[in-house]
């Protein structure tokens, strides 16, 4: 007899037994003891303990565990149950999360129930305790005479009830090896389906008479003269084996698979059509043997746009454990090994795409998220599940041949019609391509827009159109009986979406609304709504949105340029990639046929550029840079003298000029090395050789992979003339090699600053940590990098045309930048007007280009009288503050934050060429070897260590030698 009330150590109030039908939808059903979800099956016998007043819940097994137990790992003393660990835990400096007490058996942290021996300070978490208690407390199940032992430890096995592979908790008979999963064990004894008039009974063995009846009714085969003795499920047409459980109606001989019947009943009761990962195919090859394979049906649409449904599909296609969590793998055509990163990316302090915070996976073109593999040198990122995709894949859209995975190709996907540089499945014989996202789509779905039948993924005749958007189809989800076709994009549209136009969610609407008029229009494009197509609607505000407007198709969503060495052209707004020669292609600029040479192409736009025109583009860019430098020289000559310094007029016209490099050149001592072919510099152990020609990246050993080698002096892109040590890949601009050994600076007038070329320090001016050339005053602990030290002493700025601005130290009180409101330590200041400008805002260009607009955007100073509060940034979609500077396009009325279009790269002053960096699985950034520091402790083992440490300076992460060795050996 079940106990209806218990008193548990973890809660002050009595806990009542709650049945499945008493559960309220608003409850968060997670067990306080084991921190696992409490599953409510359709069976009325499913129950748990809880306090409804406090929404405190426990699994039935967790609530009834004994207060004392003997564990085989600690047999000398009994263990006592505690509702919480004896210590409060600690805050982890590595993952930045609070960690509780740890279990002495599995070494995992536990924050809830724990068994403890006070004499020995021995602790065991609830999961480890339940593994032993489950063996001691076997259960009776009507399907099997010997008692079954509940196994709490997850394992992969073939369930004897449903006949499918299962991973998770289970019940086992140690006598005969009978093994069933928990879900099958909790199946109800009887079921009532809406589409069947009688009650079905759970049979643990299909009745023998059903097979005899079937053998007489089935006609003989005309070839082999045998009868088909297979029984078919009445819900799905797949075979029912007599050894597996099934639901049976003796009145009308109705048979159904165990899971088909339970899923059908659950669907009829709850009408929950959300994506259920447990219903996804567990097959590693992700193939479907039948279009109507109902027990693998995915229910769409998903509830809202927060779910990453595409990633979930790819995960189910991947071969789990293909690389077995290897810390380093060699993948496909990538020439470097890939390192595994298991922690989420902290974009605020990370080098992983610091500029945009949306780094793409080179496999699926989705945003990168942990765990992932990475080559830091090439900025190549790959999800773990994308790295585990199968090499070959049968697909229902191309049943003639098996598709092969290709990792280094640009092609057009036959399914979504988007050009992709991601992982593709191809059939070379038929010129058929599928990107990995379309190849991972489920083979069978059930959609709310067509709830009569399931939809199967199939090739579509040329006359087929999508019922939602009327697009012509090549591959679609099809219901053959109803002639219902749905394109893959419309199939995965979420049920609800949100938009800034409305505080309520918009709901996907399939059929015409009875009260809708022809005057209804889309709030985004203001065009009319076609009631024959799907649209989004807010019933409370009676507002409409086209599906294409709120969720538009990004023609470049499948393009990842990391490994393709793209170029920019002033004749085309998109990036161009190098492709093989094609005789039927002509250059879009000079119209000449490209027959022999490789050329550059924008795949989505079909824009082509021959090598000759591409070189002309590069020469034009160089001419633009020369023109700017010439104008800058005129500025230096024509502008007035102020306090003995030449006044520089800012802002510069656009972002094409390398203004920082020009400032460093002006600081350098002209003729210091007199063009020596080889010099010895204090920043490096080996002699440096002079290179006077520009780098030909196409046939050069100079960073062939990326064409962006950094100078070890200023961290700017290397350009000729420069000094180089090929052995160490150490590069140094000629003007950086000529920087003076001592420098007087207006931000630190008390002492002269000395040039330091070997330390990692934080710049007082820009607050960036780096290992480039710094000027320092050791006596005052004052540091300024060579870029900030080379800034002009006096400038004139268009935003404050009354007076010149001088570079001066700023007081620590309340001094803030006029542009970005940042706190200042060094700024360009007009003392009479109390006008302060940080060095970053001072060098912002007057105009910038961005892919969101065909026109240049102009820097606009605060305040802007004609701006409204509804304006927002095109990149981050946050509001525009008229009291701060921003970029604006008057023709398109578009806005951009200065921080969004020209963000601060926290790692811009870090150059790893000569520092022999290492990768760590416990930290997402490169680590460099630092000197001994007795006041520093390892971030992993917490031990103070005076020896050399590996460190990430921007993050203050430290790794001692023992931990680094253990990590290599796989011990941590």
Q: Strands, E, within 56-164: which ranges?
A: 56-58, 68-71, 74-82, 90-91, 98-99, 101-102, 109-110, 114-117, 122-125, 139-141, 144-158
Q: How confident is the model over 169-192, as a mean pLDDT? A: 79
Q: How confident is the model over 402-410, as a mean pLDDT? A: 83
∠ at Cα 920 (914, 925), nearest 5°?
A: 65
Looking at per-residue confidence, does 900 or 190 come out higher? 900
Q: How confident is the model over 9-36, as a mean pLDDT? A: 70
Across the chain, mean pLDDT equals: 77
Q: How confident is the model over 293-310, as a mean pLDDT? A: 73
Q: How confident is the model over 346-353, as a mean pLDDT? A: 49
pLDDT-derived band at 302 (thresholds 50, 70, 90) equals: confident
pLDDT value of position 265: 57
Residue 142 has pLDDT above 70, yes or no: yes
Task: Record the tokens describing residue 850, joined without a space.
Answer: 């961005």
pLDDT value of position 478: 82
Residue 816 has pLDDT above 60, yes or no: yes
φ/ψ of 110, rounded to 5, equals: -130, 140
251-270 confidence digits (pLDDT tens): 887 888 887 777 665 444 43
Q: How confident is the model over 46-67, as a mean pLDDT? A: 76
pLDDT-derived band at 734 (thresholds 50, 70, 90) equals: very high
86-112 confidence digits (pLDDT tens): 654 555 555 544 455 678 887 777 766
Give kind and range of the element (H or E) at residue 964. helix 961-968
pLDDT-derived band at 708 (thresholds 50, 70, 90) equals: low
3-state per-residue secondary structure call for 353-418: CCCCCCCECCCCCCECCCCEEEECCCCEEEEHHHHCCCCEEEECCEEEEEEEEECCCCEECCCCCC
Looking at per-residue confidence, does 556 or 39 come out higher? 556
CA-nearest of 568, 581, 639 to 610 is: 581
Q: How confident is the model over 24-52, as a mean pLDDT? A: 65
pLDDT value of position 353: 43
Looking at per-residue confidence, does 832 or 908 come out higher? 908
Strands ordered across the beta sheet of 607-609: 567-569, 572-579, 599-602, 607-609
Q: Which residues contact 58 (CB under 8 A, 6 or more apart)?
A: 8, 10, 15, 31, 32, 33, 48, 49, 50
Residue 890 has pLDDT above 60, yes or no: yes
Residue 899 has pLDDT above 70, yes or no: yes
Residue 700 has pLDDT above 60, yes or no: no
Looking at per-residue confidence, does 427 or 620 come out higher? 427
562-584 confidence digits (pLDDT tens): 656 677 776 676 778 777 777 77
Residue 350 has pLDDT above 70, yes or no: no
Question: Could you tell me if 733 and 722 are in contact, meaning their C-beta atoms sit under 8 angstroms apart?
Answer: yes
Rounded CA separation 72/84 (Å) = 22
pLDDT-derived band at 356 (thresholds 50, 70, 90) equals: very low
Q: How confident is the model over 530-542, as a mean pLDDT? A: 87
317-343 confidence digits (pLDDT tens): 888 778 877 888 888 767 888 888 887
Would you call the peptide bond into 633 cis, given omega within 30 degrees of 0 as the criterion?
no
Distance linking the first and last C-alpha atoms of the chain:
48
pLDDT value of position 596: 61
pTM of the predicted model as reported, rounded to 2 decimal places: 0.43
pLDDT value of position 775: 94
pLDDT-derived band at 418 (thresholds 50, 70, 90) equals: confident
Residue 212 has pLDDT above 60, yes or no: no
Rounded CA separation 362/393 (Å) = 20
3-class SS of residue 520: coil
Q: Where are the domains of the chain?
A: 68-133, 139-184, 298-344+359-457, 494-546, 564-636, 676-694+708-802, 928-969
Residue 798 has pLDDT above 80, yes or no: yes
Looking at per-residue confidence, does 159 or 213 come out higher? 159
Rounded CA separation 611/578 (Å) = 10
pLDDT value of position 358: 57
pLDDT value of position 917: 80
Residue 705 has pLDDT above 50, yes or no: no
* Look-up of token digits 């990326």: 706
Percent above pLDDT 90 for the chain: 10
Q: How confident is the model over 158-180, as a mean pLDDT? A: 81
pLDDT value of position 841: 93
pLDDT value of position 646: 57
pLDDT value of position 123: 86
Rounded CA separation 732/67 (Å) = 70
218-244 confidence digits (pLDDT tens): 555 544 544 445 677 877 767 787 778
Residue 672 has pLDDT above 80, yes or no: yes
pLDDT-derived band at 272 (thresholds 50, 70, 90) equals: very low
Residue 788 has pLDDT above 90, yes or no: yes
For the ranges 175-184, 552-561, 591-600, 821-830, the maximum mean pLDDT occurs at: 821-830
Q: How confident is the model over 5-12, as a mean pLDDT? A: 64
DSSP 186-250: T--SEEE-TT-SSEEEEESS--HHHHHHHHHHSPBPTTT--B---EE-SSSSSEE-TTS-EEEET
Instruction: Provide the Cα torsion 408, 412, 413, 418; round to 10°.
Output: 110
Looking at per-residue confidence, does 880 or 376 come out higher? 880
Looking at per-residue confidence, does 819 or 458 come out higher? 819
Residue 597 has pLDDT above 70, yes or no: no
Looking at per-residue confidence, does 834 or 690 come out higher? 690
Rounded CA separation 383/742 (Å) = 49
CA-nearest of 555, 578, 611, 560 to 378 is: 560
Rounded CA separation 312/442 (Å) = 10
pLDDT-derived band at 271 (thresholds 50, 70, 90) equals: very low
Give kind and range of the element (H or E) at residue 184. helix 182-185
Residue 736 has pLDDT above 90, yes or no: yes
Rounded CA separation 885/821 (Å) = 10
For the ranges 14-28, 442-456, 616-630, the maximum mean pLDDT occurs at: 442-456
Residue 1 has pLDDT above 70, yes or no: no
For the ranges 105-109, 527-531, 708-712, 753-757, the maximum mean pLDDT occurs at: 753-757
């Amino acid at each position: 007899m079940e106990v209806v009330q218990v008193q548990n150590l973890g809660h002050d109030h009595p806990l009542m037994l709650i049945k499945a039908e008493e559960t309220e939808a608003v409850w968060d059903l997670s067990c306080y003891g084991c921190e696992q979800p409490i599953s409510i099956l359709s069976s009325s016998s499913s129950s748990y303990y809880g306090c409804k007043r406090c929404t405190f819940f426990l699994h039935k097994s967790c609530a009834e565990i004994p207060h004392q137990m003997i564990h085989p790992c600690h047999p000398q003393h009994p263990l006592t149950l505690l509702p919480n660990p004896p210590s409060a835990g600690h805050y982890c400096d590595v993952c930045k999360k609070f960690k509780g007490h740890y279990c002495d058996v599995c070494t995992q942290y536990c924050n809830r129930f724990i068994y403890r021996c006070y004499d020995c300070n021995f602790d065991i978490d609830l999961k480890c305790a339940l593994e032993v208690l489950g063996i001691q407390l076997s259960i009776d199940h009507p399907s099997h005479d010997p008692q079954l032992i509940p196994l709490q430890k997850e394992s992969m096995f073939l369930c004897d009830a449903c006949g499918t592979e299962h991973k998770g908790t289970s019940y086992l008979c140690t006598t005969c090896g009978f093994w069933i999963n928990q879900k099958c064990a909790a199946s109800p004894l009887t079921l009532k389906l809406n589409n069947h008039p009688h009650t079905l009974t759970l049979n643990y063995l299909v009745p023998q008479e059903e097979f005899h009846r079937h053998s007489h009714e089935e006609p003989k085969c005309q070839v082999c003269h045998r009868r088909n003795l297979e029984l078919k499920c009445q819900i799905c047409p797949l075979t029912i084996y007599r050894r597996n459980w099934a639901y049976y109606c003796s009145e009308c001989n109705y048979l159904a698979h165990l899971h088909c019947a339970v899923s059908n009943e659950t669907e009829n009761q709850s009408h929950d059509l959300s994506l259920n990962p447990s219903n996804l195919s567990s097959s590693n090859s992700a193939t479907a043997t039948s279009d109507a394979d109902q027990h693998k049906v995915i229910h769409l649409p998903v509830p809202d746009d927060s779910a990453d449904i595409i990633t979930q599909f790819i995960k189910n296609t991947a071969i789990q454990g293909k690389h077995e969590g290897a810390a380093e793998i060699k993948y496909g055509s990538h020439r470097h090994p890939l390192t595994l990163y298991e922690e989420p990316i902290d974009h605020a302090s990370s080098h992983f795409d610091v500029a945009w915070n949306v780094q793409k996976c080179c496999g699926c073109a989705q945003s990168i998220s942990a765990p992932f593999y990475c080559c830091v040198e090439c900025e190549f990122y790959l999800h773990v599940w994308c790295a585990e995709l199968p090499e070959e894949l049968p697909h229902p859209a191309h049943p003639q041949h098996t598709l092969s995975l290709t990792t280094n190709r640009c092609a057009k996907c036959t399914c979504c019609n988007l050009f992709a540089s991601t992982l593709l499945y191809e059939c070379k014989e038929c010129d058929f391509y599928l990107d990995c996202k379309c190849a991972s789509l489920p083979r069978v779905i059930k959609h709310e827009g067509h709830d009569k039948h399931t939809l199967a993924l199939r090739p579509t005749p040329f006359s087929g159109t999508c019922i939602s958007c009327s697009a012509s189809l090549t591959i679609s989800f099809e219901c053959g009986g109803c002639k219902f076709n749905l394109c893959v994009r419309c199939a995965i549209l979420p049920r609800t979406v949100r938009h800034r136009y409305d505080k309520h969610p918009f709901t996907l609407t399939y059929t015409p609304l009875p009260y809708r008029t022809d005057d209804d229009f889309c709030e985004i494009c203001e065009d009319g709504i076609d009631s024959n197509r799907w649209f989004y609607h807010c019933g409370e505000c009676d507002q409409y949105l086209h599906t294409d407007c709120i969720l538009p198709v990004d023609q470049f969503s499948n393009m990842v340029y990391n490994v393709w060495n793209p170029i920019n052209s002033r004749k085309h707004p998109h990036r161009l990639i190098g492709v093989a020669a094609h005789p039927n292609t002509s250059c879009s600029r000079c119209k000449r046929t490209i027959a022999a040479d490789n050329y550059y192409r924008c795949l989505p736009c079909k824009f082509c550029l021959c090598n000759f025109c591409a070189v002309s583009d590069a020469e034009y860019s160089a001419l633009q840079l020369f023109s700017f430098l010439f104008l800058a020289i005129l500025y230096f000559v024509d502008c007035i003298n102020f306090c003995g310094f030449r006044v520089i007029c800012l802002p510069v016209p656009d972002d094409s000029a390398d203004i920082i490099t020009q400032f460093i050149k002006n600081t350098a001592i002209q003729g210091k090395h007199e063009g020596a072919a080889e010099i010895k510099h204090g920043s490096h152990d080996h002699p440096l050789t002079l290179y006077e020609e520009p780098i030909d990246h196409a046939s050069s050993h100079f960073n062939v992979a990326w064409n962006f080698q950094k100078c070890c002096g200023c961290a700017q892109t290397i350009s000729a003339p420069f000094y180089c040590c090929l052995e160490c890949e150490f590069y140094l601009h000629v003007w950086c090699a000529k920087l003076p050994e001592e420098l007087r600076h207006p931000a630190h007038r008390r002492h002269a600053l000395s040039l330091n070329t070997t330390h990692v320090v934080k710049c007082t001016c820009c607050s960036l940590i780096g290992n480039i050339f710094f000027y320092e005053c050791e006596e005052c602990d004052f540091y300024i990098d060579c870029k900030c030290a080379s800034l002009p002493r006096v400038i004139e700025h268009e935003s404050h045309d009354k007076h010149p601005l001088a570079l001066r130290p700023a007081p620590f009180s309340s001094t803030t930048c006029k542009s970005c409101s940042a706190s200042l330590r060094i700024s360009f200041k007009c003392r009479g007007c109390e006008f302060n400008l940080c060095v970053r805002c001072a060098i912002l260009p007057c105009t910038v280009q961005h892919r969101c607009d065909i026109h240049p955007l102009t820097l606009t100073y605060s305040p802007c009288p004609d701006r409204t509060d509804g304006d927002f940034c095109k990149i981050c979609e946050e509001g525009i503050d008229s009291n701060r500077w921003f970029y604006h396009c008057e023709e398109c009325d578009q806005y951009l934050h200065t921080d969004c279009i020209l963000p601060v790269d926290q790692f811009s002053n870090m150059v790893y060429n000569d520092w022999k960096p290492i990768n760590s699985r416990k930290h997402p950034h490169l680590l460099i070897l630092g000197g001994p520091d007795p006041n520093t402790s390892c971030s992993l083992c917490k031990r103070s260590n005076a020896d050399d440490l590996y460190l990430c300076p921007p993050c203050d992460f430290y790794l001692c030698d023992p931990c680094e060795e253990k990590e290599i050996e796989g011990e941590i």
